[in-house]
Structure 1
Amino acid sequence: METYAALTNHARTLTAERELNGFTIEELCEAAGVSRRTFFNYFATKEDAVLGVKSADPFKPFAQDFLDSARTSMASSSGSTTALPLDQALLELFIKAYATMDVPPTDMGSFMQIMHSEPALMKRMIHSAMQRQRALAELIAQRQALEPEDPFANLASTLFSQLAMTSFQEFIGHSSSCSTEGITCNSTASGAPAAAEETAPDALDRFTRILTENFSHARRLFGT
């Protein structure tokens, strides 16, 4: 976490001070106190470092569990077992993937200013999101025994990826409202105060709650 956060935070600081083209990867590594080789263990490009997007696929470690959930099962009230529904399997996949992600502390106001002033960052973020969305669609198609380009798999991936993005924005938005000097943050969406120094397990619990609540709203929207 420390190396990832150092690279990301220094990348954002340098971008704010010099613009994206005003510094090199070598200068970023020097500021973060790491080698160029270490940089590429975390990020594929300088843009990814600013965005905090790791080069590794966050779903890959859990892909087999996701596929197996179509055959392995959960117990029903009658004692029999049934395959885990796709929507529930997707929810669990995103929660597991988030648990492996490192989210560096950041000033979201400054970050959004960088995003608006550097079109290349928005372009890169969209590109990365589309890559992961396509990979997820292929995973869904494989789980559901569909053709790789099946419209259902593509739509399911698009909808759930957007739901997860909305939930993550809500999660980060709350985090950025926390005082760095105070003892508590502003109230959460549920009205409960959160500690300013939020631990990783607490952050995971909060993100899980946000994602699950938004998932429930989506199910209501479609009447399921």
Structure 2
Amino acid sequence: MHSSKDSAKLHSMKQSATEGSASPPTLGARMLKTRLSITRNARELTAENGFAGFTIEELCSKVGISRRTFFNYFASKLDAVFGHAEDGLPTGALERFMSARPAGIRGISPTLLSDLVTLVLEQLHLDETEIRGAHGFFTILHREPELLQRMMQVGPERQAAFIAQVAAREGVPPSHPGIAMLVHCLQFATHQAIERYVKASDGPSLAEEFLLAVTQTQDLFQQRIQPE
């Protein structure tokens, strides 16, 4: 059950996420669509058959491309399954986040949390129509040694790269403990939201699940660290 305080925060955050989120198609929109389709279908086939249970040719047939076209996008089936880090965000979303920092601010900006939440909401909105199908891939990932090994390499690399981007926006070193903590918290909230969203087919939207987790965590972190 959402409290009135939670509901007010949810409404405010959802409104900020929808403002300015649309962007015009780019010249590479068709290529990006193909690349995303390759990764999406590779994950679906992995969830259905296991990583070794399908060939590149079968993947190409499902996407509707030739084997030659596949290798214009990815060097291997494993690369296709994990895709590109930037493919998880709508076009221009990261650029909007980087440029949203208020001018004339030194140190951590007062809008960092809300700007990060807006970025995550854009990502979740992009993924929501297919997140249930993709969830099977992330479930099987931990049972496939080859996939797990790649995840253990790619996951920390992408996380460190994103933390470095956030730190650069804020003008602090990537080692700033608060930046890493904030990113970790939002990633955990995202994972928890997806789990709840997938389990409850008639429950709150993916964005609402995420915002609820964030607002409840925010309330806890507003408590005093030490007793009076």
Normalised TM-score (structure 1): 0.63
In structure 2, what is the equivalent of residue 179 of structure 1?
A: none
Structure 2: state its 5+ residue gaps.
1-32, 224-228
The alignment partner of 2:133 has SS state of: coil
Structure 1: distance between partners of 2:207 and 2:112: 18
Structure 2: distance between partners of 1:124 and 1:153: 25
Residue 92 (1) aligns with residue 118 (2): yes
1:27-38 matched pairs, under 5 angstroms? 27-38=58-69
Code of the aligned partner of 1:167: A
Higher RCO (CA 8 Å, separation ≥ 6 residues): 2
Code of the aligned partner of 1:92: T
Instruction: State the superposition RMSD in angstroms.
Output: 3.4
Q: Cα–Cα, structure 1 residues 140 and 108, in superposed 2: closer, same or farther, change >3 Å?
A: closer
In structure 1, what is the equivalent of residue 30 of structure 2?
A: none
Residue 154 (1) aligns with residue 189 (2): no
Q: Cα–Cα, structure 1 residues 121 and 210, in superposed 2: closer, same or farther, change >3 Å?
A: same
Q: Cα–Cα, structure 1 residues 100 and 120, in superposed 2: closer, same or farther, change >3 Å?
A: same
In structure 2, what is the equivalent of residue 218 of structure 1?
A: 217
In structure 1, what is the equivalent of residue 99 of structure 2?
A: 68
Structure 2: distance between partners of 1:92 and 1:110: 26
Q: Cα–Cα, structure 1 residues 141 and 43, in superposed 2: closer, same or farther, change >3 Å?
A: same
Structure having the higher helix fraction is 2
In structure 2, what is the equivalent of residue 25 of structure 1?
A: 56
Residue 12 (1) aligns with residue 47 (2): yes
Q: Deviations over 1:166-194 (max 9, x none)?
A: 222222333xxxxxxxxxx4x41x5xxxx
1:105-144 matched pairs, under 5 angstroms? 105-106=132-133, 112=139, 114-144=140-170
% of aligned pairs identical? 25
Code of the aligned partner of 2:213: N
Identify which range, 24-33 or 61-70, moves more after superposition: 24-33
Q: Cα–Cα, structure 1 residues 104 and 38, in superposed 2: closer, same or farther, change >3 Å?
A: farther
Normalised TM-score (structure 2): 0.62
Q: Cα–Cα, structure 1 residues 43 and 25, in superposed 2: closer, same or farther, change >3 Å?
A: same
Aligned residue pairs total 181
Q: Deviations over 1:197-219 (max 9, x none)?
A: xxxxxxxxx12111111101111
Structure 2: distance between partners of 1:93 and 1:166: 17
Contact 1:133-1:161 within 8 A present in 2 as well = no
Q: Cα–Cα, structure 1 residues 25 and 136, in superposed 2: closer, same or farther, change >3 Å?
A: same
Structure 2: distance between partners of 1:172 and 1:44: 32
Code of the aligned partner of 2:121: I
Structure 2: distance between partners of 1:54 and 1:107: 13
Which of residues 42, 55, 59 is equivalent to 2:84?
55
Q: Cα–Cα, structure 1 residues 100 and 54, in superposed 2: closer, same or farther, change >3 Å?
A: farther
Structure 1: state its 5+ residue gaps.
74-82, 175-184, 191-205
Structure 2: distance between partners of 1:137 and 1:108: 25
Residue 145 (1) aligns with residue 176 (2): no
Structure 2: distance between partners of 1:221 and 1:137: 23
Shift of 1:132: 2.7
Contact 1:9-1:106 within 8 A present in 2 as well = yes
Code of the aligned partner of 2:177: P
